[in-house]
Amino acid sequence: GYRTLAVHLPGIGRSQCAFRERPTLHTFADWIHSVVQQATGRADEPVCLVGRGLGNRIARTFATRYRSQSR
């Protein structure tokens, strides 16, 4: 019963870089938040993020910035 999303960060893989300035972990966490919001139609959808390497750091930053959404 879980929905799964796999994303390539902007500028990674075949994606285009959408950032004008050098992105930070906070920039990526905010971007993930907007992806979840677009996919679910809700800004408060609870999520469980999984990542390794840089993805782990982004997931932890997301959990700090969006505590009420993090599981």
What global pTM score does this model have? Answer: 0.83
Residues 11, 19 contacting (CB under 8 angstroms): yes
At 14, the pLDDT band (50, 70, 90 cuts) reads confident
What spatial distance separates the first Cα and last Cα of the chain, rounded to whole Å?
15
- What is the rounded CA–CA span in Å between residue 38 and residue 13? 21
Q: What is the DSSP letter of 43?
A: S
**For residues 30-52, average pLDDT:** 89
